[in-house]
Amino acid sequence: MKQLLTVAFACLILVGPVLADESLIRANCSAEILKSTDATRNDLKSFRIIKHGGGYEMSGQTETNRTVTCQADPDGHVNSVIQR
């Protein structure tokens, strides 16, 4: 039982920072997307985050079927938001 708890705790330590990074990316990209595109908060619920190169990319479609992409550094700084 102790071994199982040790493994579970170790997994949380390894996965925790990744989840924190993704929540920071989602927060920062969402704010920039809402400011600079016609996407709505409802659209953002379906956007997904992927690791891209040295950072992250959050992308999805708006109600009007336009593709929105946000690229950010691992520290959460948004580099670009593009709507097509």
HSE toward the beta carbon, residue 32, CA cutoff 13 A: 22
pLDDT band at 21 (very low <50, low <70, confident <90, very high): confident
The per-residue pLDDT for 18 is: 47
pLDDT band at 63 (very low <50, low <70, confident <90, very high): very high
Task: Summarize pLDDT for 24-59 with one digit per residue, the tens.
Answer: 999 999 999 999 999 999 999 999 999 988 899 999
Tell the residue number behind the tokens 């989840």, with chain if given: 19
Print the domain residue range for 7.
Answer: 2-83
Q: pLDDT of 66-78, one tens digit each? A: 999 999 999 999 9
Sequence-separated (6 or more) residues with CB below 8 Å from residue 17: none
Q: Rounded to 10 degrees, what is the CA torsion of 19, 26, 53, 15? A: 0
- Decide: pTM greater than 0.85: no
Structural domains of the chain, count: 1
